[in-house]
Amino acid sequence: MRILVTGAAGFIGMHVCQLLLSRGDQVLGVDNLNDYYDPALKISRLNLLKSYSNFEFNKLDISEATPLNAAFQKYAPEAVINLAAQAGVRYSIDRPDIYIRSNIVGFANILEACRLHEVKHFVYASSSSVYGSNTKVPFGISDRTDNPVSLYAATKKSNELMAHSYSHLFNLPSTGIRFFTVYGPWGRPDMAPWLFTEAISRNQTIKVFNQGRMERDFTYISDAANATSLLLDKPPTYFEDIKSSYPPCRVVNVGGDSPIQLLNFIELIENAMVKKATKCFLPMQPGDVVATWADLTELHQIIGCQAKVSIQSGIASWVDWYQKYTSGELSLH
């Protein structure tokens, strides 16, 4: 299958591309290689993908419609996985313009290109942040998602609504994936696992928000990538009867289904590094939520129950990768 993957040099994007390439798909990776965090990490991920003969790369920004449409025209993808987005909850408070350009304008450009080129399945990254200030856990697909607590969350909810409208109007099969705190090797430097591990390694103080009274449903990267590829292979179908009709679209949760207290998560990193952290306890940050937990009922109905990497094994693998990468052993420049 010919698949166009945006955000290919990103954390989830690289792992999804690698999985698709390993199973024999033809992949066109798209990324603008921006400097939200060190582009050297993105280049290293990209160089790993370039070792596959069935991988092509096109540097472009999805917020620019003309080059994006040219890529669609040349490559003629059968399916599209949109993982390109401006990430980060807290950064959206400081730079809302970037989120609107990438996550709204760019997403609209992708949808329109999928429509024009008759893509058979459009898969895109949503986020657990759409659940906002909901207090009922686990978070289920039918729960309300109209109370976002950050602009980032609002853009992801907007993506789901936009995809729904395109599915309804143009019969474009679409699957939105609400990822829950994905972590693991090649992860992002702005996320908690990297920040905590780096601080411990450098004998610096860890910032622990909400006095540590937080829970996260962490998802190991291989589980997230595997779920994405399996969902890609099973596009939603059009259903119609006398009473109602439904466009071929859906959203699903992808998470670990086993939330862990933040302080316990830090302890696992300490154990893997054989080194204690110095902690500074701070109030809740704007845009954060106290707890996340994914209800995976719909995911299991579509792809079946899958074996998951335990948080203990996942953290051990993460710390091992981090130490090798920061020592230069895995730098692929």
Report in angstroms the alpha-carbon separations of 20 from 23, 111, 185, 232.
Answer: 5, 22, 18, 10
pLDDT in tens, 235-256: 998 654 444 457 899 999 999 9
Decide if 152 is catalytic: yes
For the cut 60, the answer to whether the pLDDT of residue 149 exceeds it is yes
pLDDT in tens, 255-293: 998 899 999 999 999 999 999 999 999 998 887 788 899
> Cα separation of 243 and 329, whole Å?
61
Tell me the whole-structure pTM to 2 decimals. 0.95
H helix count then E strand count, the chain = 12, 15
Q: What is the DSSP letter of 202?
A: T
- Across 195-294, where does the E strand assignment appear? 205-209, 215-216, 219-220, 239-240, 245-246, 249-254, 260-261, 278-282
Query: 141 near 152, Cβ under 8 Å?
Result: no
Domain ranges of the chain: 2-182+218-255+291-308
Q: Is residue 124 classed exposed, middle or buried when 0-12, 13-18 and 19+ CB atoms within 10 A define those classes?
A: buried
* CATH 3.40.50.720 at 2-182+218-255+291-308, yes or no: yes
Looking at residue 330, its pLDDT comes to 73
Looking at residue 133, its pLDDT comes to 81
| Active-site position among 91, 99, 124, 152 | 152
Question: Percent of the chain having pLDDT more than 70?
Answer: 97
